[in-house]
Amino acid sequence: MNVKIVDIINRINEFAPEGSQEEWDNSGLQIGWTDDKLDGILLCMDITDKVVDYAIENNLNLIISHHPFFFDGIKSIDYNNYRGKLINKVIKNNINIYSSHTSLDISKLGINTTLANLLGFKNLRKINDENYNIEDEIGVVGDFENNDINNLLDKIKKFVPEDYIRLYGKMPNKFKSAMVVGGSGVFALDYIKDTDIDILVSGDVKHHDGQRAYEYGKLLIDISHFYSELPVLYTLKDILSKDFSNILIYDNPDFFIDSKEFKF
């Protein structure tokens, strides 16, 4: 079957349309020619030199990243610096790059739904479906049938290394509902402040975010930006595999330095 880059982009837009992204975002085609024949797909969180090298080595000419390769306008491409060299390598090797960011965040098949399903939540709904006078579509609320906090933490540990899990606020012995917001979702603490939602699972938690969670009487679980969003790559692969088979996932956090390599 002769599949083109545009066919994959169109498929993604069926469940994560570019038009639904936040105003500040840059989801969509980053580099490439949509009429190009598709040889293979590499799914990743971020575009790094190692990701591009892996795509080239495995003859995968479409990289689909969650975070856009370009967020701000480019005023120059200098082949002497890291970003310039990377752009040059992408173009010289006929690599196409497409990113699906906040459009995938709010999708019913996207990051937050994937997270909620991994955690075993039931009765999934958006925060703006509740009677909280909140219009934001980002984030998913769900009920937890086995409302033991240790059960929830055990589920998290199945896809997040323990070193990247941090708990802040107040620990409930039992809870009924929780909210998940992949990536940097601590803003949602203010959404759940005066609700019966006991827990927020997200990433990029700062010291004073933890203090606010304590003051609100909520439990804030930080599973890191990277690991809170990584599972959606597997959801994407499941969806796209119905149309195309040559798909690989790059799940290494290239810019993380493992503290185990050092002696303190």
CA angle 52, 35, 16 (to 5 degrees): 70
Which amino acid belongs to residue 94? N
**Residue-range domain boundaries for the chain:** 5-103, 106-228
> Is it true that 5-103 and 106-228 share their CATH fold?
yes
Strands 177-184 vs 140-143: parallel, antiparallel or unpaired: antiparallel
Cα distances (angstroms) measured from residue 108 to each of 125, 137, 174, 251: 10, 10, 28, 22
User: Burial level of 120, CB count in 10 A (0-12/13-18/19+)?
Assistant: middle
In this prediction, the residues of the chain whose per-residue pLDDT falls under 70 are 1, 130-136, 259-264
- Taking the C-alpha atoms of residue 220 and residue 235, their distance in angstroms, rounded to an integer, is 25
Give per-residue pLDDT as tens, 124-155. Answer: 998 777 666 566 677 899 998 777 888 899 99
Chain length of the chain: 264
Sign, CA torsion 35/39/44/47: negative
Per-residue model confidence as pLDDT tens digits over 100-109: 999 999 898 9
CATH class of 5-103: alpha beta
**The three-state (H, E, C) secondary structure of the chain, written as one string:** CCCEHHHHHHHHHHHCCHHHCCCCCCCEEEECCCCCECCCEEEECCCCHHHHHHHHHCCCCEEEECCCCCCCCCCCCCCCCHHHHHHHHHHHCCCEEEECCHHHHCCCCCHHHHHHHHCCCEEEEEHHHCCCCCCCCCCEEEECCCCEHHHHHHHHCCCCCHHHCEEEECCCCECCEEEEEEEECHHHHHHHCCCCCCEEEEECCCHHHHHHHHHHCCEEEECCHHHHHCHHHHHHHHHHCCCCCCEEECCCCCCCCCHHHCCC
Residue 95's closest CA among 50, 67, 56?
Answer: 56
Alpha-carbon gap, residue 248 to 46, rounded angstroms: 14
Neighbours of 39 (CB within 10 A): 16
pTM for this structure? 0.93
Report the topology of domain 106-228.
3.40.1390
